[in-house]
Structures are given as structure tokens and as C-alpha cells.
Structure 1
Amino acid sequence: MRTVGSLVSRPALIGAVLVVVMLLAGFVGWRLTGGGEYVAPTPSIAPVVRADTEGARASLDELVDGVREGAEPDGEDPASVAVRNANAIGIEDVTARYVAEADNVEPNGSWTADVEMSWRAPGDPALTEELKVGFDADGAITGFSAAQGTRLPLWLSGPVEVRRTGSTLVLVQGSAEVADRYAELAATAVDEVREVISWDDPRLVLEVPAAGLESALGAQPGAYSAVAAVTATVDGSTKAGTPLHVWVNQGVIGDLDAPGAQVVITHEATHAATDAPTNTRRPMWLVEGFADYVALRDTELPLSKTAGQIIAQVRENGAPEKLPGTAEFNTRSEHFGAEYEAAWLACEVLVEAGGEQALVDLYEETGRGIALEKALQSGFGFGEDELTARWRTHLSDSAK
């Protein structure tokens, strides 16, 4: 039997437990805050990392002074390499103006900035590009790159081997052996072009980047992935008289044997000698076909090697109805190589009909603005329709 003194109601018991819990909570709170009031901890804030722009400007000034003074730095950092390249090439009138940070500063203090740089290479006009320049936490230069649509000059993109003669300048990102190879190709190309046309004061500049042409030419990725070489103005313009350089794609030409590589360089040298990139008067088939004619003039390679692609195409689909136009020479064309072969064979047909000098005269006359039909009638006694018919017959006969 329960006595009155031993009986405790359930609600009273729960209340007593709650009081104890609340007292314990208060004690814990007091122990945590050191007093009677709870204070939330202050969140930690990461320190703000700022770009050392003064250090960056000082580094750019050092680079400019090194080029102007002809310094020979010992380091292998990007700025020292650029100074050595510039001195070897003969770069002058260098300026570098810090514009602004291009991206956020990294936690380690490094960042990339937009920098306007200008320079002048021998025989070229002054060039200006807004480039991306990397800096470390102390403002030292860590690298150069091209902004979208701008050209990164070879002398700022890594170590360069330089070879020069009285008529050639060759800039190569590669070994001394590779540079010697391109120097020989360039010298031979000048000689081969001069055997066909007048080139009284030859100047052939070859630029050979380590990988691809897109950065050097300010082009979209993949635009020149299948192109062995390209001749273009140094500033990307189409103004007549602007100096021309030949940019070589090592990834493509490196797989060619010596005769094949020579054909490529002589082809481009022909463009350089005749200002082909800035002269839009000639039909494209004549521009490319003539350059291949000069390059293949003394070759002993069989037609299966020099025109294998177009012959295979003719065997499958028959001869094309018309001479290739500008659209067919697009670098992304499915039959890109075949179009060059077809244009070359058109020039071969002309030489067979009237001789080499007649072809040279046609090239020069159309370059001066004389209409193709008139120049053909004057030099060969027939017009474009007859040329096309003879060319188609030649293709069909070659494909048998």
C-alpha cells in the first residue's frame, strides 16, 4: 500500500526535471561565454589580395629597357627570353603600357593583365597589340598570351632560333637543327621563285611557331589546323604594299619529306614575291595554281603524287564543271587539297598551250587589273571557256 508521503504526481515530476535541465543549460551557457550573456563568435575574414600593379609596371619597364639597351639577360624567365629574342631579331621601338587587370587576383597574388605593347621588326611597320600578360605576387612577368582576335608575336611566345641571309629571315621555335632546315628551305625558295619571275629585292620572312598558327595570326582555334603554311600581312590588313610574312605550321609540314616541304615554302614564297594576299584582282585558281606551278616546276615526282587527290576525285565523280573559285579554297573545304592540284593543272594546260612566259604574263596582267578573258585571248588566243574545256579534258585523261 502506498502512503501519502510516498505519492508524487506525474506533472510535478516532469516540471522538476525541466527546471533541472534549464539550470544546466544556463550553467553551460555561462561556461561558454564567461558570464551571463552568450556572444556569437566573430567569423574569420580572408585578407584581400591585391595586384602589385607598381611591381608589374616596373617589370614591363625593365623589359622595354632591356630591348632598347641591347641587354643580354642570363635568366630563362619569360621576360629575359623575350629580351634575348628581340635582340636577336632586331626588334626596335618597344613600348608596354599596363592597362588593367584582366581577371581576379588569385589567392597566391598572381594575376593576368591587359597590356598594350608596340614594336617594330626590321623591314616591317610598327605594330601594336593588346596582349595578356601574367604576373606573380611580386609583379614579375610569368608569361604572354594573345587576347581573342589579337596576334601574339613569336618573340614574346618562347625561345626563338634566328637565321638570316641577305634575302631571308627565319624565326623558329625549335632546335638549332630545325632552324637550319627552314633556313635552307627559305633560301632555296627564293632561288626557285627568281628563276620564273623578277624579284629584284627579295625579302622572305618565315615564322615557325612551336604549335599551330592560330595564336600567331589571331585566328579561331582550328582555323589553320590542316594548313601547312600561309602568307599574310604582318598586321592582318589587306592594304597593298604591307609587308608579308610566311607562317609555317610545324604540325603539318613536319610530316612532309624534303621535296614536299620545299614545294610548300616555294609556293608561299611565290605569294610573298607577288603580293598575292593583298592583290584581289586575279582569280583564285590562277593565284594558287601559279604558285604551285613555280613550286613544282622542276619536280620529278609522278602525277600520282602531285595531283593524286584531284585525279581520285575525277575518277569517282568526273571532271569538275568549272575552275575552282574562292569558296573552294576555304581551309575547311572537304576537298581542300584537290582544289590546289586542279588549279595547278590549269596552269600546266596554259604552259602547254603558250609557254611559261605566256603564263607569267597572264599572271602579271591580271594582277594589274586586266580582265582574265582579255588577257587569255591576248596571250593564248582563246578565252576562259576554251581553257576550262581543255582543263577538263586534261583531268579526264590523267584519271584514266
Structure 2
Amino acid sequence: MRTVGSLLSRIQAHPALIGAALVLVMLLAGFVGWRLTGGGEYVAPTPTTAPVVRADTAGARASLDQLVTGVRDGAKPDGDDASSVAVRNAHAIGLEDVTARYLAEAGNVEQDGSWTADVEMSWRTPGDPALTEELRVGFDAEGAITGFSAPQGTRMPLWLSGPVQVRRSGSSLVIAQASAEVADRYAELAATAVTQVRKVIAWDDPRLVLEVPATGLDAALGAPQGTYTAVAAVTATVDGSTKAGAPLHVWVNPGVIGDLDAPGAQVVITHEATHAATDAATNTRRPMWLIEGFADYVALRDTKLPLSKTAGQILAQVRENGAPDHLPGKAEFNTRSEHFGAEYEAAWLACEVLAEAGGEQALVDLYDETGRGIPLEKSLQASFGFGVDELTARWRTHLSDSAR
């Protein structure tokens, strides 16, 4: 008869026996419990494991192929599923060269068989080069598409975000997650903006694209939450780059512009149209005050509103603190600035000072020359006969006089 001590010695001498010993102890414990409770025939429990659920990648690839084929062949599905909505949106916008390439699962497969995958998608809006983004696509157990999303930092295209209203004209394209009535309003704003811009600058082949996401600008532009909460609209390249010549679209924040009256909304869209017409998002040669001030000059050119409406914020600051000692720069044009808005008014008044001093064409020439890389001081002297210091002095005087 072996003693407990001898058993322990054997186990310690042979580590492989440890696992077997643990199993034996567990079985004995179960047996003792059964005896104490007076159970019937004892049956050792059978270990159970959850079944492995695998993604139906073949079904997912087939669904992506079906989406691409639907866009290419002109089919118009009637369903309300994410894939059908995307196909209808693509037709309405006129997207071309749509592709979708399955990459890999983005996380675990759920017990119901659903999962999310990284998918490389490409498409081309009329007039734009092809755009490629790595997006997230949801699939159900059979591989059918359940939705689209974008990783943080990636722009979420409207045509994959839900139903859109599309309005086209010879010079504008509006893509809006909105009602038909609201889409019509944006189409009118866009058409008027093109007309107003062409009164001031040469825009021989105008093309203005407005994108209006229902949930604001942050997700649409791949920005951290809160970046564009107070911004009415933004003009940016379609691919998020700063490459010269990259196509520009205007993204509109309905939560801000929707609170504006008709003249105010028109000023916003015409301002952004000026940026689009002059490649302002990719041309960084001009000083920031001239970029923003000139856009407001074009937008406010035909308005009859008083300065209390068009420059109320900056004039209030001048009354309280006096005129600024320098023209606004990049630091002042911050979407999170406490005085966001006043900087634009200040920049506009600087352009008003220039237009009054030398005429509108001289201002347009200054804008064009600085965009070509001619230094601001040199261009000012050539067109107006004075430099930055004199402009700043005249601007400060204008602010002080207007604030009285």
C-alpha cells in the first residue's frame, strides 16, 4: 500500500503526472459530492466548447461583386438594404469605375455569423479622378452586406452612408442626405453662387460640388469629433490631400447653415464656391487673411446688409479691446477659436480697404499674383502703391472708425 508521501514524491519526480493527478482529484471530488447527496449512478461531466463560427468570405466577395455589377450594368434595385441603397445612389450621382476588393476580417466573427471586414473601394465622381478608400463593410452570416462605415481618420462617402438626394445642373452637383425640398434649396444656392463668383473672377468651366451629410462634417471629413461643430461649410480636396490641382468639393454642415436665413446661407455657399474656383484648399502661397477675406468679398459684394450684420463680431471686439495690431493669420483662423467668425470679418474688411483704395480689379490681381507665388509686399506695392504696414494701418483705422 502506497502512502500519500510516496505519491507526492512520484508526482514531483515526474511533472507530466501533475495534470493526470489534477484530473483524478477533480473526479474524486465529484464522486464524493455525489455520494454525500445520495445521487444515483455517477457520470463524469463532459467538457463542452462553443462551436467555431467562421466568416462566409465567399458570400461576402459575391455580395461585393453584385454591388459593383449593379452599378456598372445600370440595375436599379428596389430593396432598402445597404447594398441596394448604395447602387441607387451611385446611379443618381453618376459614379463610374466602382470597384470593391475584400481584404480581411476586421475583428471577430459574432456567434450569429455576422462580421465586419476591411474592403478597398474605388469610385469616380463625374469630373473627378478615381478615389480609393479602405472602408469597413458589415456582413451577415450569409455574406450579405449590412452596412458601411469608415475607420477613424478616413472620410465616409455619402453614397455609402444612406439614401441621398441628387441635383445636377450644368455647373453644379448637389449630393444631400436630406429631403427633396432641402436638396432643391441647396441646388438654388449652388447655382447662385456660381453666378456671383463669375461676376468677379474668370471661371471658364465652373463646376461646384456640394456634399451635405445629415450628421455633420466630422465623419464625412474623417476628423475627430467636434472639429467642425461650429463650421457652416468646408472646401477640401476629395481625397484629403493638398496636391495642387486635386478636385475640390464643398461639404456643408446642415446643423449650422440650416439656422441661417436665405442671405446668410447664400454668403456661406458663395464664399466656399470662391475657394473651389481658385483652388484655395491646395494653394498655400497666399496669406490666410487674403484667402478668407477675398472669399467673403465675393460673397458679400452684392449684399446691402449693414456692417452691424456683416462685421458685428469684430466691431464688438474693437469697441472692447481696440483694433488688432496685425492682420489675422493661421493662428486666428482656428475652428475652435473663442472668437471664430470675427477673424473672417476682419479679413473681409482688409479686402474692402484694398478694393476702395485701388478698385476691384486691383484686388483680383493681388489675389492672382500671390497665388502664383509673387510676394505679398511686392504685389501690394505694384497694384496699390503701398505695402503691408500701410495696409495694416489703413485697416486698423477703418475698424476703429466703423466701431464708433
TM-score (norm 1): 0.91
Pick which of 278-287 and 215-224 moved more. 215-224
Distance in 2, Cα, partners of 1:366 & 1:121: 31
Secondary structure of the residue aligned to 1:224 is: coil
Paired residue for 2:200?
A: 196
Paired residue for 1:298?
A: 302
Paired residue for 2:223?
A: 219
Find out whether 1:394 has 2:398 as its counterpart: yes
Letter in 1 for 2:211: E
Paired residue for 1:264?
A: 268
Distance in 2, Cα, partners of 1:44 & 1:32: 23
Paired residue for 2:113?
A: 109
Tell whether the 8 Å contact from 1:33 to 1:39 is kept in structure 2 after alignment. no
Paired residue for 2:65?
A: 61
Find out whether 1:368 has 2:377 as its counterpart: no
Q: 1:347 aligns with which of 346, 351, 372?
A: 351
Paired residue for 1:168?
A: 172
Distance in 2, Cα, partners of 1:92 & 1:356: 41
Runs of 4+ in 1 over 4 A off after TM superposition: 25-31
Point out the structure with max Rg over C-alpha: 1
Give CA deviations for 1:80-118 in whole Å, capped at 9, x if unaligned: 000000011111111111111112122222111111111
1:171-250 matches, cutoff 5 A: 171-250=175-254
Pick which of 211-220 and 265-274 moved more. 211-220
In the TM superposition, residue 377 of structure 1 has moved relative to its aligned partner by 0.8
User: Size of the alignment, in residue pairs?
Assistant: 373
Letter in 2 for 1:86: A
Distance 1:31-1:333 versus aligned 2 partners, 3 A rule: same
Distance in 1, Cα, partners of 2:36 & 2:142: 48
Q: 2:81 aligns with which of 77, 84, 94?
A: 77
In the TM superposition, residue 337 of structure 1 has moved relative to its aligned partner by 0.4
Q: Could you say what the CA RMSD is over the residues aligned between the two structures, in angstroms?
A: 1.5
Distance in 2, Cα, partners of 1:70 & 1:218: 30
In the TM superposition, residue 28 of structure 1 has moved relative to its aligned partner by 4.3
Distance in 1, Cα, partners of 2:338 & 2:354: 27
Letter in 2 for 1:349: V
Which runs of 5 or more residues in structure 2 are unaligned? 1-31
Pick which of 262-271 and 364-373 moved more. 364-373
Paired residue for 1:16?
A: none
Secondary structure of the residue aligned to 1:374 is: helix
Paired residue for 1:4?
A: none
Letter in 2 for 1:331: T
Find out whether 1:125 has 2:129 as its counterpart: yes
Secondary structure of the residue aligned to 1:98 is: strand
In the TM superposition, residue 231 of structure 1 has moved relative to its aligned partner by 0.5
Give CA deviations for 1:104-153 in whole Å, capped at 9, x if unaligned: 12222211111111111111111111101111121111110111211111
Q: Identity over the aligned pairs, expressed in percent?
A: 83
